[in-house]
Chain A
C-alpha cells in the first residue's frame, strides 16, 4: 500500500512539473514535438530510476557512516554524470536502435534538475531503498505524462490567432499554468484512505 501511495503520489499528486517545479527546462524544450517527448520521457524514467537506486546506497552506506554528509551534492552529481555516461555507452553497444532514439537526450540528463532533485528528495523524505526506486520511477512517469499532455496542448496554442506579444513562450507558460490548476484537482485524491 505504501508503494502504491508513492507511485500515485509521484505521478499525479506531487507531479514534478506542476507541483514541485523540477525539470522545467526540458519540459518547455522538448514539448514542441510529440516524438521528442517519447524519447526524452523514456530517458528520464530510465535514468531517474537508476539514479535513485544508486544514490540511496551511496548516501546510507558510504557517506553517512563515514561522516561525509557534506559531500552529498558533489558526490551525487558526479555519480549521476558517470551513470548517464555509462548508460549511454551500454545502450550504444547493446541496442543501436534504442541508442538512435534516446542518444541525443541522454547527455542532457546530467544537468537536468529532475534527476538530481529525485535523488535528493529520496534522502530528505527518508524513503527506504525500494521506496526510493519506486519514487524515482513514479516521478519519471509523472514528468513524462505532464510533458506528453502539454505537447498536445501546445499544438493548439500556436498560430496566428494568438496575440502577437503572447506568441511562443508566454502563451506556453499560461497554458502550463492552466494545466497546473487542473492537476491541483488530484491534491485530495486518497486523503483519508492512505494518508
Chain B
C-alpha cells in the first residue's frame, strides 16, 4: 500500500477512504456508531469531531514517522491522538454545549476508537503528510456519512421526521413513531439490516459483473440460439 499510493492523487486517496465506510466495511468504530446515532445531527457532529482528530493526528504522525522509534510507536500515537481529542472536547464544550452533553463520554472515547489508531498504524506511519490528510478526510467522511445514515434511519422511524440544525426536513413528518428504533435494540437492528442491504447490493453487482464477463467470453453462443 505504501508504495502504490505515492503516485495516486490527493483525491484518489480521499475517495478510496470514503469507499471504506468504516462501521460497515471495516467493522471499526462500532461503539459511537450505535451509541450516538439516535438522531442524524448527532452523527454529523460526531463525524466532524472524528474528522478533525483523524486529520490532525495523521498529519502529525506522518510528519514524525521517521523520528518515532518503532518500539514505542503505539504509546506515541496514543498521546498524539489523546491531545487532539482533548482539543475537540474543550472546543465542543465551549461552542456547542448541548451537543457536547448529548455525545457525552463518547467524545473522550474517540481516543480508543479503533479507526484512528488503525489508520495511524496502517496509513500515516507509511505515507507522506499530504496523502495522510487525504486518507484521514476520506475515512472521516465515510464515517460521518455512515453515522448520519444510521442516525437518519433511526430518527425517521423513531420520531417520524428528520431534523438538521433545528429545521425539520420533512414538513409535516410521517405518521409513525417506532420508539424501539431510538432504544439500544433499534441501533443493533438498523446496523444489522443496513449491512445486509449492502451485502445484497454487492452480491448482485458481483453476479452482474460475472454474467457480463461470461457474455463477453462466448459471444457466438447468443447468436447461435
Chain A residues, Cβ within 8 Å of B108: 72-73, 116, 120
With A25-B28, A120-B105, A170-B193 as known contacts, state yes or no: A176 contacts B188, CB within 8 Å: yes
Check if B222 is an interface residue, CB within 8 A of chain A.
Answer: no
Contact A174 B105 (CB under 8 A): no
Check if A103 is an interface residue, CB within 8 A of chain B.
Answer: no
Chain A residues, Cβ within 8 Å of B195: 169-170, 173
Binds B, one of A1-9, A16-24, A51-59: A16-24
**0/1 interface trace, chain A 70-95, chain B, CB 8 Å (1 if under):** 11111001100100000000000000
Chain A residues, Cβ within 8 Å of B113: 113
> Is chain B's binding surface mostly helix, strand, loop or mixed?
helix
Question: Residues of B within 8 Å of A, CB-based: how many?
Answer: 42
Chain B residues, Cβ within 8 Å of A174: 188-189, 192-193
> Nearest Cβ distance between residue A74 and chain B, in whole angstroms?
4
Give 21 pairs: A residue, B residue, CB < 8 Å, sorted on A: A18-B185, A21-B31, A21-B34, A21-B35, A25-B27, A25-B114, A28-B27, A70-B86, A70-B90, A71-B86, A77-B78, A77-B112, A113-B31, A116-B112, A117-B109, A121-B105, A165-B196, A165-B200, A165-B203, A177-B188, A178-B185
Which positions in A face B, CB cutoff 8 Å? Answer: 18-25, 28, 70-74, 77-78, 81, 110-113, 116-117, 120-121, 124, 163-166, 169-174, 176-178, 180-181, 184
